[in-house]
Amino acid sequence: MELIVTCEFRFFRTPDGQVWTTSAFQYAFWQRYLDVFKQLNVVARVQDVDTKEDGWKLSSGERVRFTALPYYVGLSGLLRNLWATAKILRKTITSESTVIYRVPSQTAMLSSIVRLGTKHHYGLEVVGDPNDVFEAGIVNGFTDRLLGWVSRNALQRMVKKAHSVSYVTKHYLQQRYPAGKNAYTTACSSIELTSDWISSEPKSYEGDALQWLFVGSFGQLYKGPDLLIKALAKLNQNREDSEKFHLTMLGGGLYLGDMQALAEELGCSENITFVGEVNASQVKEHLNKADAFVMPSRTEGLPRALIEAMATGLPVIGSRVGGIPELLGDEHLFESENIEELATKLNRLCCSVDELNKASRRNIEVAATYEASILNERRKQFYQHVMNNRS
């Protein structure tokens, strides 16, 4: 049986028909579906290119094919390609299809409209809250509020009608987007955390945690890099050069230059290293070198990067958004946008040996509950239920 999965990430296709990605959706990612289904058809935006670039990873492969949607970017791009996209979805996803929509998703929303009034059985993997994304700001105030309202209500309707729903959080998304009373539901993060990621021993601290790490895209400011840079500048004002905190930032994107300029403006550029895009093995190397991890996001589902950091035994400060409070205690959480509280929480944690050692032990224990073998079994049960309830 073939499963159709929609994905909002954009992909690249070379003349030989192979599909490539810069995201986590590499060929190995799709194995979770192939454990239950014989074939996988990924419906996503695909751009045809002449050659692959360095750093791209193969996403297509044996038993995995792609149905290419127009490679649009942003709301205006969607509107220009609306008819072409709808036409492909109408042809690809029929009343006989077995479908899992990864949501929030413009593709999923459009597909539900295309199938309106017809037989449409599907499962959902709810990986985030679209309302939180628009509240973080994409276009402008009024447009963001309007798009947030439309997206939130569309997702609520989709979740109510789904026969199977998997949430990446344990509570947060379930409360905002409750499933129908007869639906099969489960809580299962998208992370693939193998046992070798999980540290066998907590870190041992004997002094301040001076080396901080941030991991996130600069394509938008959802991850709050500007908040962290401002908090760092504030804390370093009263510290001697040898005792100043240093921040390493992994990731690239449109606003990287702006963040570098902000660091210059605040006089803390010497204490920040902007690394740019990195692969998974390089992320792990940086995690092993860091003393603490910071996730000052404005919106989140259940962040993979945070769980990976916890698995290595890093103490963490995170914002009180999405599923982050399901991972961290209140003493390590701050209200998003509150730079003063972020700086206070960072200073309190990073200057307390006892608290650092305690947090390292606790974080490893929490991360271990997301180990791959545990989640894979949960996913398999969910996919089996999707297969058995396709009609």
pLDDT tens, the chain, 391 aa long: 899 999 999 999 999 999 999 888 999 999 999 999 999 999 999 999 999 998 899 999 999 999 999 999 888 899 999 999 999 999 999 988 999 999 999 999 999 898 876 778 899 999 988 887 767 654 556 666 777 788 889 999 999 999 999 999 999 999 999 999 999 999 999 888 999 999 999 999 999 999 999 999 998 899 999 999 999 999 999 899 889 999 999 999 899 999 999 999 999 999 999 999 888 889 999 999 999 999 999 989 899 999 999 999 999 999 999 999 999 999 999 999 999 999 999 999 999 999 999 999 999 999 999 999 999 999 999 999 999 986 5
**Residue pair 85/70 in contact by the 8 Å Cβ criterion:** yes
User: Do 275 and 304 share a domain, yes or no?
Assistant: yes
Domain count, the chain: 2
Does residue 116 sit in the same domain as residue 127? yes
| Closest by CA position to 193, among listed 34, 25, 305 | 305
pTM of the model as a whole: 0.86
286: domain range? 195-368
Report yes or no: 249 and 258 within 8 Å, Cβ to Cβ: no
Are 141 and 228 contained in the same domain? Answer: no
CATH number at residue 267: 3.40.50.2000
Is there a single domain that holds both residue 74 and residue 178?
yes
pLDDT of residue 389: 81
Sequence-distant (≥ 6) Cβ neighbours of residue 370 within 8 angstroms: 189, 191, 193, 307, 311
The confidence score (pLDDT) of residue 301 equals 87
**Do 255 and 381 share a structural domain?**
no
Question: Residue 140: what pLDDT?
Answer: 57
- Gap between the Cα atoms of 51 and 41, Å rounded: 23
Same-domain check for residues 143 and 241: no
Q: CA of 124: how far to CAs of 137, 155, 384, in Å? A: 25, 10, 13
Q: Which pLDDT score, from 0 to 100, does residue 192 have?
A: 86
Q: Which amino acid is at 355?
A: E
Indicate if 247 and 106 belong to the same structural domain: no
Residues 291 and 342 reside in one and the same domain: yes
pLDDT of residue 141: 66
Residues 153 and 262 in one domain: no
Q: Are residues 199 and 184 in the same domain?
A: no
Residues with Cβ within 8 Å of residue 52, at least 6 apart in sequence? 12, 14, 18, 20
How much is the pLDDT for 23?
85
CA distance 349 to 340: 14
- 158 and 234 share one domain: no
Domain co-membership, 168 together with 309: no
